[in-house]
Structure 1
Amino acid sequence: MLAATVLAGVLVHDVIPPADAWLVDHAFAAPGSRLAAVATAIGGVGTLLCLGALTAGAVAAAVVRRRAGRGAGYVARVLVTVPLAASVLLLQGLFLRPGPPQQPQAGTYPSGHVAVVTAIAFAAVLLYRELGQGWHRVALGGALTAVTLVAGSRIVLAEHWLLDAAGAVAGALGIGLLAAAVLRLGPATQVPVRSAG
């Protein structure tokens, strides 16, 4: 996924694919419009909800692991994946891809906002896996929803092209998966949760 992000950045450095142009032409919300206000709120609230879910997941996973007689090292290692996965946004300075016409800033690929939300959501999913399959599914569904809505909000606000958001998701997940492998965060570390009664 990381290789695909870099390759896409090289190939479309100064090219605007038709899907990107169509979306910005048809989905752009004018500043001050109701849709722009909703998109702005989604971007902020989605990020805050992901941070809240990550914090709650870290605390809950640490408690579950402590009760099972295991250390909190796993939780600390998962939290390290957040800045690592979000570091994909550093590629912006390498590609300096121009953004949509409404965005004067160069260097919008990959989207930093989407990269950070994806990194947080990725770590939250790893943490909730420690709480059992049900919580893991809820976290995965919440993460997919949050990343999709935040990415969509960036496109509706014409802050980023579709490819900027897709590259951020792919790159952050690619780095996150590599970090998870290096830090040994695989399913084997899962602690079963005892049912009440």
Structure 2
Amino acid sequence: MVADVRAPERAGRDNRIALLLAAAACLLGLLLTGAVFLGTPGGQDLDQSLLHGPGRDAELVESATALLAVAGDPLVLAAVLAGVLLAGALGGRIRGAVAGVVLFACSIAGARVLKNLVQRPDLGIAGSSTHNSFPSGHVAAATAVVLAVLLVLPPRARWWAAVPGLVAVAAVGGATMIASWHRLSDVLGAVLLAGALGCLAFWSTGGARSRL
């Protein structure tokens, strides 16, 4: 039986199509999250009920604030991104490293733009303010950093890094809520925003299985 030499090419093409579809799904999820949680009474009520306000547990709030200080420290983030560039250069995945840095920058910029554009209407929910914090910049940054690291890792090593990366993102997201910096919708929106950009970053390097 003659091996189909076009099989790897087809697999790569299918993989890139899947990444584009995943990016579109994340963007759709971002739109739906904003529409439901910000634009409906039920969504705003759920957001408010899940928000852990300060004063309930001072120690927990202090720990959450300390974690956020580290996660949002420009020097820490710069060091991680420098490590991504170095790993990409040493591992022959410089395109992935550059894509990861661009992904991080776009995630931060995208979160800031959305905060300025999106409005949170007053729907009469008790305790809920009209202050918009959608999506969370801290969570977008944490998600983008994890994806940037995955971009420069060999495909077989990505799952080993993805699990602790997801735990780290969940910890940062939970901390923003415990410290009352962000609502659940802000956390979900940030993950979906960075996730969409991450899919595009993987697509731009040739797909998740690409050596680049």
- TM band (smaller chain): 0.7 to 0.9
Contact 1:88 1:175 in 2 (8 A): no
How far apart are the structure 2 equivalents of 1:111 and 1:58? 25
Once the two structures are superposed, residues 127-155 of structure 1 have per-residue CA deviations (whole angstroms, 9 ceiling, x without a partner) of 2x23x624x23421232111111110110
Give the match for residue 21 of structure 1.
Answer: 48
Query: Is 2:72 aligned against 1:35?
Result: no
**Residue equivalent to 1:195:** none
Aligned to 1:2: 27
Unpaired segments of 5 or more residues in structure 1? 66-70, 192-197
**In the alignment, which residue of structure 1 is the partner of 2:89?**
62
Query: Residue 143 in 1 paired to residue 162 in 2?
Result: no
SS at match of 1:106: coil
Identity %: 25
- Alpha-carbon distance in structure 2 between the residues aligned to 1:103 and 1:20: 9
- Find out whether 1:187 has 2:208 as its counterpart: yes
Per mean C-alpha deviation after superposition, the further-off stretch among 8-17 and 117-126 is: 8-17
1:117 aligns with 2:159: no
Q: 1:103 to 1:87 in 2, by over 3 A?
A: farther
Structure with higher Rg: it is 2
Equivalent AA in structure 1 for residue 202 of structure 2: A
How big is the shift at 1:98?
7.0
Structure 2 residue 110 is the aligned partner of structure 1 residue 83: no
CA contact (8 A) 1:50 1:143 kept: no
The structure-2 alpha-carbon separation of the partners of 1:158 and 1:101, relative to structure 1 and needing over 3 Å to count, comes to: farther
Q: Show CA shifts across 1:63-93 (max 9, x none).
A: 121xxxxx73442233222112333312112
- Judged with a 3 Å threshold, the aligned counterparts in structure 2 of structure 1 residues 101 and 40 are, in CA distance, closer, same or farther, namely farther
1:161 equivalenced with 2:161 (yes/no): no
- The CA RMSD measured in Å over matched residues stands at 3.1
Could you tell me which amino acid in structure 2 is paired with residue 79 of structure 1? V
Q: 1:158 to 1:13 in 2, by over 3 A?
A: same
Shift of 1:55: 3.1
Match of 1:133 among 148, 152, 156: 156
Q: Distance in 2 between matches of 1:171 and 1:62?
A: 27
- Tell me if 1:107 matches 2:107: no
TM-score if structure 1 supplies the norm length? 0.75
Aligned residues between the structures: 180
64, 71, 96: which one aligns with 2:119:
96
Gaps of 5+ in 2: 1-25
Range moving further from structure 2, 164-173 or 99-108: 99-108
Paired amino acid for 1:106: H
Cα distance, 1:53 vs structure 2: 4.1
Q: Aligned to 1:29, what secondary structure does the other structure show?
A: coil
What SS does the corresponding residue of 2:54 show, helix, strand or coil? coil
CA distance in 1, matches of 2:48, 2:78: 32
Q: In structure 2, how many angstroms separate the alpha carbons of the residues matched to 1:53 and 1:125?
A: 12
Instruction: Report the counterpart of residue 9 of structure 2 in structure 1.
Output: none
CA distance in 1, matches of 2:47, 2:37: 11
The alignment partner of 1:110 has SS state of coil
Q: SS of the counterpart of 2:38?
A: coil
* Cα contact 1:14–1:97 (8 A) shared by 2: yes
Residue 169 of structure 1: how far off its partner (Å): 0.5
